[in-house]
Chains A and B, each alone.
Chain A
């Protein structure tokens, strides 16, 4: 039977087996949940029985759709947060791209000093949890609205106005700073690889510096900038922790905070519907991005030597500008960390008196009159459990996502151009577009009950591992595709001729050669899950608590000293892992733009 033979020879190639099994698994883990969430928006949930009169849990209902889109309260529940979200994401994008773009230009195209240092410092806000800066902002600028005033008021005696301390303004500043490194990496990569001859050609033809930037440099990096815009937009839109910390005191609501409130509260149906709206926006963004990338003015040019980049001479501005930038960067990276350290020793923030300092929060045994008798951080077994859980979760997620990402890369590159490869490529990128919290909502809806051979996973550690792996697969699969693509097929084919087995080819040839790219496929999922809050917050139960969710709870309770200490822990772990990866294999997030 020829069909059997064909199937047999098809399955003899490892890339086909990988392709087929990954497509099936990802369809199950990404697409099936989408149907489940749509279904959930039409169902009556048990906590909603009071409001949907005369219904049973599980009944079909259009109640959620009606009240979200055309109901009496839809303005407050949905439309206002939606507008806030869009505005917040827009302004964040503009800020992040201008800042990241200017830094990328300075580092790749001018003779500014301390390039390496600037590059590594600038990346820090992206490595740190996004709300690190939000907490630093609160540490500095909070006013009497939430109890003790911040350091700024302590030092200067000036009360910060509400608009400055909370809500839209600080949210966009903090998110903008958080995503600026992302723009920096993307735009900097383009600028670094862009053929400097293009700018030199314009220079010889007597174009002035501004005209060159306006007419040559910007148009050439524009597609990358648009792409960055869309990616940052979708990330900013799904940000939860920053608007939660900075927006709550002034009741500034966005879609994610609404999602959290409704899903954790009495109306999960609303929550699932808001999640669905966010997923749709994300999908639209991906489509627009895809359309922008494949255009007529292809930027593929004959590759020549572009080593001779002549840098713009900043002349007398060189040293002052370099110092200014360095100070600015220290202000947004190192200074916040110092305030966390300082605040964790202070009984009440806002007073710099000596007797206000204590080691109670670190080593104390817990006094009933201070913070409900919670023992100090170094004696607190819950903090150790959280640290261990976070670390364990990140390591497992990174190993799983990194390995699957590498397999995706292998299968996609080997089967380049086929329908299967394109499907897997898109499928593995799709989780990027699902806002973290919406993704959490999906898994909550999907795995709260037994599904096929998978038992109910709610409350288990496994569900955290599963969602982390799927959510960060896009990073890992991009890295995997890059690694395999750059290698070219001949290197592997040379080993195939000698009859080296697939396993050996991977372990002895492909991975060692591309270790930097491969490792960065493991590194990003690790860092991301270490600092992630919104993805896990709906799925974590007291038994599976992790550092970030504990942090969130301490913050809600106003136990700032513990929150500050935990942030320090997270930043410390993330930065040391990043350094180790950098030392071992030269893997780094900024890939040496400042190099």
Chain B
């Protein structure tokens, strides 16, 4: 069972702290994404697990084997970790043909010629590159190079596969196509995938778990939908989701037995927790998070605003609504357009609005909301 356990891993480059006390377990046959903005330490983490880089401190187990330990002075080379690695720029060898590239790893394992040949053909058929066997990488398109790199990585049947932003050099259309193929490959190869990306959509759609990182620290490590619906903090909430979640600065005005009254510069909210009842102080500064799809537009809505901008995409329309000085983004499904500056009402009829503490930035509670304009107190 190739489970990967990382304990207390820290990596410093000189005085720069790239990864800070990382503690995660990657389950067997999982598809885990390391997600975060550039410089958050995700690639370094991947390189540490694969053995291309050694942590400054910590321990790493792959399949119950201790592959790295700073205390015991163990540092297994990548070759001994039984892993595959797919590089962002593919790192195909320009002086070898497609089939030589794919066969190289098998030759290192001393496979016999017939088996190598068989495996190369199996993979090139799987990845639909069998017509390019005798071409050189420079003669292939980006997408084809990508497939060759995948075939080369899969050839020795690694139990664990590491991928460092493998789709970032492809154009948008090809990227979506390859995304589907990667997910299918994960099923077919029956192995553990660890995937680095800065694209939250890629992480959401592909993975069984997302490890969201920022400045070398893990922010949240959970299933994609959980990260989306119950972000642990402001960073998680903002990084995942497109269009971005709306944040409204509010102050706790009154704490009742059932609901909590929150006041922003233009609006008054009545928040009813559905998770647990948080303990709040009157006057505490808070931030309310509202996902765009949880803000509905209606002609009847009591709170009125004007259309600031509308971006129809055909399937849905992203509408920015201006209520006095507050801008809120909403997503409306269907082929709709809204003329700019028309007045429209707003309704908050979901129960997944999130309350964050402003100073700790932590998620405090999830709940439903009532809203009214501030000048009608």
Question: A353 CA to B156 CA in the complex, in Å?
Answer: 72
A residues whose Cβ falls under 8 Å from a Cβ of B? 195, 197-198, 200-208, 211, 215-216, 219-220, 222, 296-305, 308, 310
Besides A195-B89, A206-B109, A207-B104, 5 more A-B contacts (Cβ < 8 Å) are A200-B91, A201-B152, A297-B94, A301-B137, A305-B88
* A201:B85 contact, CB within 8 angstroms: yes
- Contact residue among B79, B87, B94, B105 (Cβ-Cβ distance under 8 Å from A220): B94
* A298:B53 contact, CB within 8 angstroms: no
* B95:A297 contact, CB within 8 angstroms: yes
Across-interface contacts of A205 in B (CB, < 8 A): 79, 104-105, 108, 152, 156
Question: B124-153 interface mask toward A, CB cutoff 8 Å, 1 = contact, 0 = none?
Answer: 000000000000111100100100000010
Question: A303 CA to B91 CA in the complex, in Å?
Answer: 9
- Provide 29 A-B residue pairs closer than 8 Å at the C-beta atoms, listed in order of the A residue: A195-B89, A197-B89, A200-B85, A201-B93, A201-B152, A203-B77, A204-B52, A204-B83, A205-B156, A208-B79, A208-B108, A211-B108, A216-B93, A219-B93, A222-B95, A296-B136, A296-B139, A297-B94, A299-B94, A299-B138, A302-B89, A302-B145, A302-B169, A304-B88, A308-B43, A308-B52, A308-B53, A310-B52, A310-B53
* A219:B108 contact, CB within 8 angstroms: no
Across-interface contacts of B104 in A (CB, < 8 A): 202, 205, 207, 215
* B95:A220 contact, CB within 8 angstroms: yes
Question: A296 CA to B139 CA in the complex, in Å?
Answer: 8
Number of B interface residues in the complex (CB < 8 A) = 33
Closest A residue to B84 by beta carbon equals A204
The A/B interface has a contact count, at CB < 8 Å, of 97
Across-interface contacts of A219 in B (CB, < 8 A): 93, 95
Q: Smallest Cβ distance from A307 to chain B, in angstroms?
A: 10
Across-interface contacts of B87 in A (CB, < 8 A): 197, 200-201, 304
Across-interface contacts of B89 in A (CB, < 8 A): 195, 197, 301-305
Closest B residue to A198 by beta carbon equals B91
Across-interface contacts of B90 in A (CB, < 8 A): 301-302
Given A197-B87, A298-B138, A308-B52, also A206-B79 (CB < 8 A): yes
Q: Smallest Cβ distance from A301 to chain B, in angstroms?
A: 6
Q: Smallest Cβ distance from B239 to chain A, in angstroms?
A: 22
* A206:B94 contact, CB within 8 angstroms: no
* B156:A206 contact, CB within 8 angstroms: yes
Minimum-distance CB pairs A-B, first 8: A304-B89, A205-B105, A197-B91, A298-B138, A206-B79, A219-B95, A206-B108, A201-B91
* A297:B169 contact, CB within 8 angstroms: no
Question: B306-327 interface mask toward A, CB cutoff 8 Å, 1 = contact, 0 = none?
Answer: 0000000000000000000000
Across-interface contacts of B93 in A (CB, < 8 A): 198, 201-202, 216, 219-220
Question: A202 CA to B93 CA in the complex, in Å?
Answer: 9
Question: A222 CA to B43 CA in the complex, in Å?
Answer: 31
Closest A residue to B53 by beta carbon equals A310
Q: Say yes or no: is B50 at the interface (Cβ < 8 Å to chain A).
A: yes
Query: Which residues of B in the span 78-113 have a Cβ within 8 Å of any Cβ on A?
Result: 78-79, 83-85, 87-95, 104-105, 108-109
Question: A198 CA to B91 CA in the complex, in Å?
Answer: 5
Q: Say yes or no: is B358 at the interface (Cβ < 8 Å to chain A).
A: no
Question: A300 CA to B95 CA in the complex, in Å?
Answer: 11
* B78:A297 contact, CB within 8 angstroms: no
Across-interface contacts of A296 in B (CB, < 8 A): 136, 138-139
* B108:A195 contact, CB within 8 angstroms: no
